Structures are given as structure tokens and as C-alpha cells.
Amino acid sequence: MGLGTRGSRFGSTEVIQIHLFLGFLIRLLFIVYGEHHDKTNTLKYTDIDYHVFTDASREIAAGGSPFDRHTYRYTPFLAWILMPNVYINFTFGKLLFSALDCVAAKLIYELLIQDGQSKLTALKCSFIWLYNPLVIGVSTRGSAEAIMAVLVLLTLYMMKLRLYLLAGLFLGMSVHVKLYPLIYSLPLYLSLTSDFHQHWGWRRLMPTYSKMRLVVGSLTSFFGLTGLGIAMYGEQYIEEAFLYHLTRTDTRHNFSIYFYLLYIGADFHIPGLSVATFGPQIILLFALGYKFGNCADVPFAMFTQTVVFVTFNKVVTSQYFLWYILLLPIIVPRLKLTWQKATLLCVLWVAAQASWLLPAYLLEFHAINAFVPIWLEGIAFFCCNVGVLMALISSYTTRITSHHHSSRKNR
């Protein structure tokens, strides 16, 4: 995309640190504004989920369970991490998430350097996350997506360093916090095939020492944290944090193409309707994970899988977009796109999202029956996402390498 190496001297360690500080300062200003906004306006800046997190922390402080707070359906350790919200200051969590945003930007920078990109290219790509208005808004409003961002990027970074046990540990932690990174297991596992050129079909699934380290690390951290959660909070934890998400039928308006179907089907109790929506997702997730499951293309496999997972999901909110925006900076240098085409794709994506927001606003704040327009806009947004993904796949430069040879070269 035209991100060359000229001027790479400006991508020094000092420059990235300055930008990380500036990125955090911008977030700090938004947090301060948000506190003022919440005190002076009926429509609050702070995300409702942030109040749920804090209330769960208060339940713990009172000697109870975080799941005693209605609608708290997250790992119990998030409520423990945010205990300073109760004991120190309500904004602690927002500051933490903002700091983790900056850590994620630094990890993106380091991943691109490890991939052989120039410092200038790595710096520019990290800006896609660091200065992204959506990212800034989500974190400063109190969403915990930054935790997932750091865990996913640490998984990739450890894979780059060939520290597969640690990569597995971070992968298992991310799946414990939110289930969706489970989709990355296939490409990460396949990427450790000793010789990509000779192994095909089911032979790529055969275990190796590196694969087993990844698997053991993943299972250890996931079952360790989950087991600890069960020991602390029992069946209540399993029901709220895991089973709820598998059978969830959210009939509130959202970006999902399935929302209206689930809404009108809520009164009829159609058996298996919620589970059936997973079908297209699963097929495409396996196909993309297998297609791009070599060590050089793992970030692109994860990116395409995430776009598919979010686009075909039965519940889609703006926070979910961060899941694939996180991986976009890592794949940008490998996309053969002109700036004009890249800008067009970006404008189309934003416009499709904005056009959905108008009928959603009319329904949410003016009680106007806009369910059908929201559904139609959801279809348009779905088509836009699929079209953009197809354009990115067609412009991606695949780089098939042998893990065995690359490992020997780096020894």
C-alpha cells in the first residue's frame, strides 16, 4: 500500500515512545471529558458494561460473587482486576484499558519489525490502532477489549519468537477471557507443520514437538484459569460466562444479518435456530484457517477468520469490529492495494455502518418502528463486509514458507 522504507530513521525507538505517550494522553483527555459529560448529560459517555464491571467488583468487595450482579457474564478475574474502581477511583479501569491500548500498538510495531518491515512502515501501521477513533472511543468509554487485544498480540509475538509454550499460554488465557480466539487454534497449529510443501490434507494435522508445546500451553492456561473460576464460583460461573454465550438469542437490534430473524422467531421458540446460525461461520472458519495456515500467513488467516466470525455472528456490536481492526495493521504491508482503492473500501465500510445507525437511532431514542429498515441496512452492511473481505483476500500476497527451513535459518 505504498508504505516504503524511505525515512525509516524516523521510526526510532524514541519516536514510537513519543507516539505511545501521545496516544495515551489523547485517551486521558477523552476520559476526563467523559467524566464531565456523564455529570452534565442524560445520554452517558461511559459504556453500560463498565458499570456492570464495577458493580461486580463491588459484589466481591462485599464478600459475594461477581455473578451476583445481573448481566455480568465475563471471567470473574476481570472484576478482581477492576477492584481499584471501588477502592481508589472509578476511572481506574478506563486508564488501564487505555494503557493496554498503547501496549497493543507497541506489540503491532514489534511484530512488523520481526516480520522484516522497516521501522517507518511498522510505525505507520501501528497508528491504525493507536490513533483509531473507534479504538479510542471504546477503551475510554470503559470496554475491556484492550485486554483481549494484548493477549491476542502476545500470542502472535510469542509465535514469532518461536516460544510456542508461551504462545499457547496466552492463547488459552485469551480463550478463557472471551471464547472467540478459539478460532485461531487451527491456523496457529497448522503453521507449525515442519514442511508446508510436503505435508497436505490430514498429514498437516499430525502432531510435532512444537505443536504439542502450543497445545499444552493452551490447555494449561485455559483449564487452569477456568478451573480456578469454577472452584471459586461453581456452576454459576459456567452458566453465566460460557453456556449463556452458546445459546444466546439477542433480539435487540444489532448489526447482525440474523437479528430480525431471531427477533420475529422469539415468540415461536424455533428449536435449534440459535445454534443453526453457527453453520456458515464454522465452514468458513475452517476453510480460511486451513487455506492460510502456514507460518508466514497466520496473521492474515486470523484476520479473515475474525472478519467472518463477526460478520456471520448472530450478535454484532461496534466493539466486535475491534477484533479484526486489531489484526489489520499487521497485514497491511502485504496488501497490494492502491491508496485510492484502500480509501474507497474504508469509506464504503464506514458509510454502510453509518447508514445503519440512522434507523437504529430512530428506534432507540424516538421509539419509531424501524425494525425493517434496520434489517435491510444490516443486509447491506453484511454485503459490504463480505465485499471488502473478498477485495482484501484477492489483493493479499501469499508467502508460503517452510517452517522447518525458516527455523533452521534463524538458529
| pLDDT, the chain, mean | 88
Q: Where does the pLDDT of residue 287 fall: very low under 50, low under 70, confident under 90, or very high at 90 and above?
A: very high
Closest alpha carbon to 178 in 39, 74, 312, 24: 74
The pLDDT tens digits of the residues spanning 72-91 come to 989 999 999 999 999 999 99
CB 79 within 8 A of CB 59: yes
Q: Cell 478459539 identifies what position?
A: 182
Mean pLDDT across 211-222 = 96
pLDDT above 50: residue 195: yes
Q: How far apart are CA 239 and CA 102, in angstroms?
A: 33
* Whether the predicted model's global pTM rises above the 0.85 cut: yes
Residue 210 has pLDDT above 70, yes or no: yes
Rounded to an integer, what distance in angstroms lies between the CA atom of residue 29 and that of residue 321? 23
Q: Rounded to 5 degrees, what angle do the CA atoms 206, 300, 146 make?
A: 105
Q: Answer whether residue 245 shows pLDDT above 90.
A: no
Sign of the Cα pseudo-torsion (284, 287, 289, 291, in order)? negative
Cβ neighbours of 34 (radius 10 Å): 21
- The pLDDT tens digits of the residues spanning 101-151 come to 999 999 999 999 999 999 999 999 999 999 999 999 999 999 999 999 999
Amino acid (one-letter) located at 333: P
CA distance 192 to 344: 36
pLDDT band at 266 (very low <50, low <70, confident <90, very high): low
- How far from 293 is each of 64, 210, 373, 402, CA to CA, in Å? 44, 15, 39, 12
Determine the average pLDDT of the residues in 270-293: 83
